[in-house]
Amino acid sequence: MGRGKIEIKRIENTSNRQVTYSKRKNGIIKKAKEITVLCDANVSLVIYGSSGKMYEYCSPKTNLIDMLDRYQRLSGNKLWDAKHENLQNEIDRIKKENESMQIELRHLKGEDITSLNYEELIAYEDALENGLTNIREKKDEIPKIMRKHEQVLEEENKHLMYLVQQSEMAAMGDYQGHEPFSFRVQPMQPNLHERM
């Protein structure tokens, strides 16, 4: 006895709809994997649920970008507009620039310099000497800055000491005419008191 046919329409009950979505999503992904293995086909599948979560499957021998490019070539449908192509060109340009800078950085570190000619070596030497001069100048500035900072702190300290001294003198002026407090140390042991 087989399963009965169901009417293909939106399931109104949210819980039932979610269960059906989960089962059918897993089923279609399973079928995509099976056709990939059984028929040596390139399959790409993308599913977006109502929550917006994405599920994808792509045959192991390919990737989604290649599949979409192939679809675009064979169908004639334009998937990427000029803006996206320009972005891709910009990404490619930045990648090349990054690779060039990585090579230059290795050369500045003294690595991979066997491929450089004499003029390039001279240019790197000049760049390194200029950099070293700038670093030494900056290094020589640091003690001067530290001394200046130290002088500022000393001035602030002198000013604070002056304010404390003025405050103490003002407090002493308030106590003139009053008997200053005095303390007498009392021994804790009674027998010591008798000896004194």
pLDDT exceeds cutoff 80 at 115 = yes
The predicted-structure confidence for 136-173, as pLDDT tens digits, reads as follows: 999 889 998 999 999 999 999 999 999 998 888 887 77
pLDDT in tens, 61-109: 888 888 888 888 888 887 767 667 788 888 889 999 999 999 888 888 8
- What confidence tens digit (pLDDT) does each residue in 7-30 have? 888 988 989 999 999 999 999 999
For 104-158, the DSSP string reads HHHHHTT-S-TT--HHHHHHHHHHHHHHHHHHHHHHHHHHHHHHHHHHHHHHHHH
Q: According to the model, what pLDDT value does residue 2 have?
A: 62
Is 2 in a helix, a strand, or coil? coil
CA-wise closest residue to 124 among 100, 103, 108, 102: 108
Instruction: Pull the structure tokens for residue 119.
Output: 């003029």
Helix, strand, or coil (residue 39): helix
Does residue 192 carry a pLDDT above 70?
Answer: no
Whether residue 6 is predicted with pLDDT greater than 60 in this model: the reply is yes
pLDDT at 42: 92
Q: Cβ-count burial of 36 within 10 angstroms (0-12 exposed, 13-18 middle, 19+ buried)?
A: buried
Q: Please say whether the beta carbons of 43 and 32 come within 8 A.
A: yes
Supply the pLDDT for residue 66: 87
